Amino acid sequence: MRLAIIGAGPAGIMAGINALENVDELVFFDKDVPLKTLLPTGGGRCNLAYGEFDNNELVKFYPRGSKFLLSVFSRFSTADTLEFFEKIGVKSYIQDDLRIFPCSNSSKDVRKKLLSLLNDTKVKFYCEEVLCFKKVSDRFRLKTNKSEYFFDKVIFAGGIRDNFDVLKESGINIIAPKPALCALCIEDVSLYSLSGVSFKDVMACIDGSKQEFVGDFIITQNSISGPLVYKISSANAFSPFPYQVRFNFVGYGFDEFDMRLRELLDNNSKKLLINIISEFIPKSFAQFLFKKNAVSFELKASQVNRAVRTMLAKEMTEYKMKIVAQKPNGEIVSAGGVNLDLINPKSMEYKDISGLYFCGEVLNIDGYTGGFNLQNCWSTGYLAGTAVAKGKKN
Ligand SMILES: Cc1cc2nc3c(=O)[nH]c(=O)nc-3n(C[C@H](O)[C@H](O)[C@H](O)COP(=O)(O)OP(=O)(O)OC[C@H]3O[C@@H](n4cnc5c(N)ncnc54)[C@H](O)[C@@H]3O)c2cc1C
C-alpha cells in the first residue's frame, strides 16, 4: 500500500511513524523542511504536552474540539504521549505550571529523535507543494507544483492556515480559519506609550460572556500580548470586532477593593497616593491612569476625596479596553479547519471519502498555550497513522 502524507509537521510525522510498519511506501510532501514548525515551539524548548491526566479536565483547555478530543484522548492520552517519547529516548519533565518539556529543553533534539524513526528505505520526502487531491475510483490523485502522483491512501496534516483553497478545491468541508492565540490591537492607542510594561495575574472577562480568564500580559508598541491576551483572542476568535474586555488588576471586586483602598488611605495619610496605587499596578500604568483622569502625582492620601478613590478603584477592578483587531500575521495557531462532524474520532478518517485521513491543526481543533496544540498533533497523528496501518492488515 502506498501512503502519502501531506505536511511533515508534528502531526504528519507522528502519523508516519505509526503507519510505517504496514506500508510499502510512504511519501511525505512538504513545501518546506520537515518538522521545521517544531523548532520555535516553547521558545525553542518544545512544550510537548500539559500535565493534566484527567481527560475531562484536559479538554477544557480547547476552545474548539473539546468533545471530539474526549474520544481521541481516550485512545491516546497525555500519559501515552509521555510513554511514546520516553520510548524514543526523549525523557520529559513537568514544570510547576504543569507544562511538559523534554529534559534536553531542546526542540532540535526532539525533532532529531522523531525524524530518526523515519530513516527507512520505504520513506521519501518530496519538497513539493500539494495543490489539490482527489479520489479517482479507488486511488488518490495528488497534484503538486511539480508533478502528479497516485496513492492508495492519504493523510492530510498540512495545517489550515495556507490550505483553505487546497481543501476547498479538493471538496473538503471546512470552517474558514481565523487567527487564534494572537496579540490584539486596542482602540485607545495612547496605552501603547507604555510599551514593555507587563502585568501579572490579571483577571479578564469579555463583555457579554460569562467566561473569566487569568494570566499575564504585556503592552507592546502596537498591541497587547501575552498568555492572557492569547486566551481572550482564542475564546473570541469568531466574534466580530470591536468587543470590550474588562481587566481586574487587583484580584478583588470593586466594593472590596474600594474598602481596602479607604483603609490604606486612612492608615497612610502622609503617603503619596501614586505610591499606594503603585503597590498594585506598575508605576508607569498608575501614572498613565492619573494623567488620564487629571489626578496630581503630588496628591497625598489624606487629600483624596471619594470621587478620586472610587474612580481609581473602578479603573483597577474594571479597566475597559475596546479590542478592535487581531495583530496581523502573529497568530500561534488557527481556529477553524476540517469540520469535525465529518471525521471519525477513532481513526481520523474523513467520513465521506474512505482512505483519506486528517490530523493536527488542519482539524477544527485549537487549544490555549501550554502544550495543548502539540498534544492534539500527537494524539490525532497517532490515530491516523495506526488506522492506516490497521486498514492494511484487515
Ligand atoms: C512560535 C510558535 C510556538 C509554538 N509553541 C508551541 C508549544 O510550545 N506547544 C504547543 O503545543 N504548540 C505550540 N505551537 C503550536 C504548534 O506548533 C502547532 O499547533 C503545530 O505545529 C501544528 O502541527 P501540524 O503538524 O498540524 O501543522 P504544522 O506544524 O503547520 O505543519 C504543517 C506542515 O505542512 C507543510 N505544508 C502545509 N501546506 C502544505 C501543502 N499544501 N503542501 C505541502 N506542504 C504543506 C508545512 O510546510 C508544514 O511543514 C507553537 C506555534 C508557534 C507558531
Domain boundaries, the chain: 2-179+336-393, 182-330
Residue nearest to atom 6 of ligand 1 (CA): 41
Atom of ligand 1 nearest to the CA of 331: 53
Domain range 2-179+336-393, CATH class: alpha beta
Per-residue model confidence (pLDDT) at position 208: 86
Q: Is the CB of 158 under 6 A from ligand 1?
A: yes
The reply to whether ligand 1 has any atom less than 6 angstroms from the CB of 110 is no
336 in contact with ligand 1, CB cutoff 6 A: no
Q: Which residue CA neighbors atom 22 of ligand 1 most closely?
A: 361
**Cβ atoms of 174 and 336 closer than 8 Å:** yes
pLDDT value of position 330: 84
Is ligand 1 within 6 A of the CB of residue 381? Answer: no
Ligand 1 contact, 160 CB (< 6 A) = no
Tell me, using a 6 A CB cutoff, whether residue 328 lines ligand 1.
no
Binding site membership of 276 for ligand 1 (Cβ less than 6 Å) = no
Cell matching residue 353: 471519502
* Ligand 1 contact via 166 beta carbon (within 6 Å): yes
Residues 6+ apart with CB under 8 A from 318: 246, 247, 248, 254
Rounded Cα distance between 344 and 180, Å, is 25
Whether the CB of 377 sits within 6 Å of ligand 1: yes
Q: What is the pLDDT of residues 12-26, one digit of tens each?
A: 999 999 999 989 999
* pLDDT for position 108: 98
Alpha carbon nearest to ligand 1 atom 37, residue? 158
Q: How far is the CA of 8 from the centre of ligand 1 (A)?
A: 9
CA distances from 71 to 59, 279, 376 (A): 10, 47, 12
Q: Whose CA is nearest to atom 50 of ligand 1?
A: 41
- Whose alpha carbon is nearest atom 20 of ligand 1? 374
Q: Which three cell numbers stand for residue 36?
A: 521545521
Residues 118 and 26: their CA atoms lie apart, in Å, by 10
State if residue 44 touches ligand 1 by the CB under 6 angstroms criterion.
no
Neighbours of 207 (CB within 10 A): 10
Distances (CA, A) of 204 to 251, 276, 321: 10, 23, 10
pLDDT at 393 (0 to 100): 42
**Which atom number of ligand 1 is nearest to the Cα of residue 49?**
11
* Residue 34 identity (one-letter amino acid): P
Query: In 3-state terms, what secondary structure has residue 90?
Result: coil
**Segment (H or E) for 141:** strand 139-144
With a cut of 50, which residues of the chain have pLDDT below it? Answer: 393-394
**Is the torsion defined by CA of 351, 357, 359, 362 positive or negative?**
negative
Query: In the chain, what are the helix, strand and coil shares in percent, each to the nearest 5?
Result: 40, 25, 35
Does the beta carbon of 366 lie inside 6 Å of ligand 1? no
